Structure 1
């Protein structure tokens, strides 16, 4: 019996060894795939073909021989994409990175040039993806530029010289710029000063070009009733009741005269940047990252994109190191929207040693989402609606994430918390959330929910942010934020900490924020009457929204007075800062103090040096609760 047992053990062991050997032979090693310049004329099909075989033949690295590679959409992988803060559309990509893990893409200094509506890197449901040592550009840009060569205030016209880079077509007085696979109208526009290669001083007085006015006639449209909430800003609805105001006439090839603009005529010598109609002009971000844990971009330059440099959603542990957004080819504009944008991201988020310049929106926006409760279905289920039309299909969380119930009329902070059991996707505007716990007894339609786990530990360090439209950083992050040793020179606020609950539905109350050792140079030069650093809620709510803010050892070298707007803050230290007047531009609002305070408490101003132009007795103005506040 013992002999039989020993024989059985030997046979079993042999079978096991044979099985292990066979299994190990069947598992292919992850391959380092090298592409050379033989695919450079259109690298798209070769990339798509190899990546789609990665399940059977895994890849650890895709490496490019250094050179210039072109990518066309015609043979790209096609997918319909809902992308936060962009248009929703069918796109093509050469890098369909779905369910990929531990992959490195190394350009080795290469330049990738894209043609038409594409997303260069489409990354979803993946882990530990790294992209390094490459630059991204478009052969034809998604915006167009015109040099102002004449203006006539009396007749309200101005003339633009259009270079050969921007082909156009005029149809019934309407201007269309024609690109490969794409076209756009004047749409959203802003002025650049070519001498500074930055947004023109006081551009708000001249732009955007007032392209729309009320329709000449409408009939009975006010009688249309909608059973459910109706989004007037949606692409399908926003032009109801409006018509084109501006018309364009060709004086000679390349020279256009613009009629019907109602603001001041743009000054001669400045460049008008035009990117087409809002809602239709964000179609090609350079990176779209969704539901991915671990994304690194190292030594990457985005020269242009028809949207954002990177948009990341519901992802974790993102590091951008030497990730630069900067224009090329003599253009005034880099990306046509934000340089970077992060929605519902968690873990660590680091932006280090980056340059963000000349983009047509913010350097970065970090936030969650509010979703509106429209149905209380039973003790455990609610139906929620996506508030903004560019949040369609966004899923607010994952099982066991903490959900906060918010009623902004009472507080900016949750009145109740629970955890998610499941989310049932019904359509791009409506989902059903099932909770692990019973709903609060007083929950009602109209309340908001936010994912309390969908915020990161944020670091922005050693970055340069300048020459762009709009703001530097929008911070709606209640976890922890360190903004250190950066340079800001922005057309609007350098730092905006908002609660945007009624339009963008972007959740998150900034808290535990340290702003240290930064230089703020001539921010707010676009013409708006706002502070360089501003806390803001989108209504007149007097409740506390922001907590535990430190602004220390910074330098503000500003042409105008207003440095800091503090509203709805509990706990702020403003210490060791130096404020000087640059004299770069004439003051737009000399009546302003340096600091405005409202609806706030527990504020400390200490050891600051002021060398600006405000009367020393009027450095700080506040509401009735701030009468004893002193600037020291």
Structure 2
């Protein structure tokens, strides 16, 4: 072959390599792959095939031509899935990102509409994953809505108008909503105001609807004895001793009368949001991340999910920017649980420029997991029990992670430390944990273990948290936390720092928290007697649980009195804040002070401007000391 001919063939090869390759539904250009709307009817099959062959093709970027794409579970990847704070079940996923590295998925402004029980994005054992420019929604929602059009306070009935968006049937007096691949009863419910699009004022007086009562007839049920403790809240046991209380009657198609509610009867014009029974209504978060690192989300809208918008477990370094959880399609709510949730994560979590609106639980929850020691199996090994049924299968950490031993009767902090050698999962509840070191002599059955390495730093910046049920931020990490330049208007506390050891078993404590330059607008409207910012433990103890708190230069526009509730706190400064009477509602608890302090010490309140309703600024118990109000 002559030199000129060689040059010619080389030129042709370079030309070919530089060109795009097109097959049905996708176009490849180097390391980038573009999907087009020819697959929009059900993009799942081609997407799965593409993900399976990414390594062979050396693809690093998946793009979608801007459009609306549907994803169905019928041809999605199916696996038995255990997701923290969700139900364990066989669930399918459309984007199984398993053992992937340096991958970008760019929707380019597309909307992805999912159908039925399917997890849109499942990210496992992966790193450097970037997802951007996409909206997530469901064709049919996992919740249902009914507007109150009439009530009878004497007969204690109310009538709901239910639109065609929420198909239903009545089975022996029980209202059941029918979805694609799913159904739910009334179950957990809450009242919303259609004018404000927020939870109704004092909704706790009206909802949840009292759907259950104690069973009237039993025989020898009390004689059943379990060898081991059982979780009576789990779906396996939750129906024992409980029967249906509410009954439903159809007056005409789309108009339902409800009988048997024993709280206050909902007002005409309000909207009841219903999502089914607890333990049966969290199956499909929009994003699930586990045992991964360096995951980022940019320009994401999550309009709905059966559970959380984003749930991350055992993952290091997560960044979300312009990640918005908002309703769509005329619905009054977005996700049926938290907007975002982080369990056993590490590194740094950054949450910037986000809107979390109208979800049926908290905006952000960051914590670890307590696991209780049930047996001591040798010098290096213990057995543990996972406490809450929706934490089943959770892995406390990886090899050589630092594990703390916690006895809450003695301290809220670890009294001994060891390093993890291995975790053997026998089943979802029961695991065997081995350590590199000999177990300390002080260890005993009933103690908790927590992963001291599995707590992240947290930044929440320029965010807006509004119109949701429950809290704004739940903070349980001892690493540095900064909450700044954000807006809060929530049904319960705006910011809650808990030590929670007996229900969800969510471990962690706050030891370095700054809350600055935020606006708090009419929080705690639901009716629970709690402060806007609250530090709380579920363990009756005078031990210190929280330290090094700075709350500065915030504005509280509040209808009610209680602003800060400090329990078991050491070293808190509340400085330069402004407290105003919003005058938007009547006080629910007019006898409360603005600041309530229990079992705390070394608290300073100075240079604050107060024009609220409270006639008492500070109330403290006898156990608290060195509390200065200037």
Q: Could you state the TM-score of these two structures normalised by the residue count of structure 1?
A: 0.94
| Residue 78 (structure 1) aligned with residue 78 (structure 2) | yes
Q: Is the 8 A contact 2:603 2:626 kept in 1?
A: no
Once residues 482 and 295 of structure 2 are traced to their aligned partners in structure 1, the CA distance between those partners, rounded to angstroms, is: 20
Shift of 1:29: 11
Tell me the secondary structure at the aligned position of residue 511 of structure 1: coil
Once residues 600 and 58 of structure 1 are traced to their aligned partners in structure 2, the CA distance between those partners, rounded to angstroms, is: 58
Tell me the secondary structure at the aligned position of residue 204 of structure 1: helix
Once residues 488 and 315 of structure 1 are traced to their aligned partners in structure 2, the CA distance between those partners, rounded to angstroms, is: 27
Q: Is the 8 A contact 2:601 2:627 kept in 1?
A: no
| Residue 94 (structure 1) aligned with residue 94 (structure 2) | yes
Once residues 302 and 626 of structure 2 are traced to their aligned partners in structure 1, the CA distance between those partners, rounded to angstroms, is: 49
Partner of 2:620: 622
Once residues 410 and 607 of structure 1 are traced to their aligned partners in structure 2, the CA distance between those partners, rounded to angstroms, is: 36
Tell me the secondary structure at the aligned position of residue 38 of structure 1: helix
Once residues 601 and 473 of structure 1 are traced to their aligned partners in structure 2, the CA distance between those partners, rounded to angstroms, is: 24
CA deviations over 1:34-54 (Å, ceiling 9, x no partner) = 100100111111101111122
**Structure 1 residues 627, 75: closer, same or farther in 2, change over 3 A?**
closer
Shift of 1:385: 1.0
Tell me the secondary structure at the aligned position of residue 119 of structure 2: coil
Partner of 1:4: none
Once residues 173 and 620 of structure 1 are traced to their aligned partners in structure 2, the CA distance between those partners, rounded to angstroms, is: 51
CA deviations over 1:464-509 (Å, ceiling 9, x no partner) = 0000000000000101100011100000000000011011100001
Q: Is the 8 A contact 1:30 1:60 kept in 2?
A: no
Shift of 1:294: 1.0
Once residues 55 and 262 of structure 2 are traced to their aligned partners in structure 1, the CA distance between those partners, rounded to angstroms, is: 58
Once residues 143 and 567 of structure 1 are traced to their aligned partners in structure 2, the CA distance between those partners, rounded to angstroms, is: 36
Once residues 125 and 628 of structure 1 are traced to their aligned partners in structure 2, the CA distance between those partners, rounded to angstroms, is: 49
**Structure 1 residues 124, 628: closer, same or farther in 2, change over 3 A?**
closer
| Residue 198 (structure 1) aligned with residue 198 (structure 2) | yes
Shift of 1:431: 1.4
Partner of 2:7: none
Once residues 374 and 366 of structure 1 are traced to their aligned partners in structure 2, the CA distance between those partners, rounded to angstroms, is: 26
Partner of 1:295: 295
Partner of 1:16: none
Partner of 2:9: none
CA deviations over 1:71-94 (Å, ceiling 9, x no partner) = 111111111100000011111111
Q: Is the 8 A contact 1:357 1:467 kept in 2?
A: yes
Partner of 2:488: 488
Tell me the secondary structure at the aligned position of residue 592 of structure 1: coil
| Residue 436 (structure 1) aligned with residue 436 (structure 2) | yes
Q: Is the 8 A contact 1:29 1:58 kept in 2?
A: no
Tell me the secondary structure at the aligned position of residue 120 of structure 1: strand
Shift of 1:57: 2.6
Partner of 1:25: none
Once residues 461 and 30 of structure 1 are traced to their aligned partners in structure 2, the CA distance between those partners, rounded to angstroms, is: 37
Once residues 197 and 93 of structure 1 are traced to their aligned partners in structure 2, the CA distance between those partners, rounded to angstroms, is: 31
Once residues 467 and 35 of structure 2 are traced to their aligned partners in structure 1, the CA distance between those partners, rounded to angstroms, is: 36
1:386-405 equivalence runs, <5 A: 386-405=386-405
**Structure 1 residues 198, 440: closer, same or farther in 2, change over 3 A?**
same
Once residues 349 and 550 of structure 1 are traced to their aligned partners in structure 2, the CA distance between those partners, rounded to angstroms, is: 20
Partner of 2:207: 207
Once residues 299 and 356 of structure 1 are traced to their aligned partners in structure 2, the CA distance between those partners, rounded to angstroms, is: 13
Once residues 36 and 418 of structure 2 are traced to their aligned partners in structure 1, the CA distance between those partners, rounded to angstroms, is: 53
Partner of 2:316: 316
Once residues 79 and 55 of structure 1 are traced to their aligned partners in structure 2, the CA distance between those partners, rounded to angstroms, is: 22
Tell me the secondary structure at the aligned position of residue 109 of structure 1: strand
Shift of 1:428: 1.1
Partner of 2:216: 216
Partner of 1:241: 241
Q: Is the 8 A contact 1:110 1:133 kept in 2?
A: yes
Q: Is the 8 A contact 2:32 2:59 kept in 1?
A: yes
**Structure 1 residues 436, 30: closer, same or farther in 2, change over 3 A?**
farther
Q: Is the 8 A contact 2:601 2:626 kept in 1?
A: no
Partner of 1:60: 60
Once residues 627 and 93 of structure 1 are traced to their aligned partners in structure 2, the CA distance between those partners, rounded to angstroms, is: 54
1:503-522 equivalence runs, <5 A: 503-522=503-522
Shift of 1:629: 3.5
Partner of 2:178: 178
Q: Is the 8 A contact 1:306 1:335 kept in 2?
A: yes
1:123-142 equivalence runs, <5 A: 123-142=123-142
Partner of 1:585: 585
Q: Is the 8 A contact 1:30 1:57 kept in 2?
A: no
Partner of 1:563: 563
Partner of 2:355: 355
Q: Is the 8 A contact 2:602 2:625 kept in 1?
A: no
Shift of 1:625: 3.7
Once residues 55 and 427 of structure 2 are traced to their aligned partners in structure 1, the CA distance between those partners, rounded to angstroms, is: 30
**Structure 1 residues 628, 319: closer, same or farther in 2, change over 3 A?**
closer
Partner of 1:547: 547
Partner of 1:14: none
Shift of 1:235: 0.8
Tell me the secondary structure at the aligned position of residue 384 of structure 1: strand
CA deviations over 1:123-143 (Å, ceiling 9, x no partner) = 111011110001001111000
Structure 1, unaligned runs of 5 or more: 1-27
Partner of 1:104: 104
| Residue 277 (structure 1) aligned with residue 309 (structure 2) | no
Out of 90-99 and 102-111, give the one that drifted further: 90-99
Shift of 1:314: 0.4
Displacement over 6 Å in runs of 4+ = none
1:5-44 equivalence runs, <5 A: 31-44=31-44
Once residues 517 and 86 of structure 1 are traced to their aligned partners in structure 2, the CA distance between those partners, rounded to angstroms, is: 34
Once residues 232 and 58 of structure 2 are traced to their aligned partners in structure 1, the CA distance between those partners, rounded to angstroms, is: 47
Partner of 1:608: 608
Once residues 221 and 29 of structure 1 are traced to their aligned partners in structure 2, the CA distance between those partners, rounded to angstroms, is: 67
Shift of 1:376: 0.7
Q: Is the 8 A contact 2:471 2:496 kept in 1?
A: yes
Once residues 324 and 526 of structure 1 are traced to their aligned partners in structure 2, the CA distance between those partners, rounded to angstroms, is: 23
Q: Is the 8 A contact 2:41 2:70 kept in 1?
A: yes
Shift of 1:223: 1.6
Shift of 1:55: 3.3
Q: Is the 8 A contact 2:476 2:499 kept in 1?
A: yes
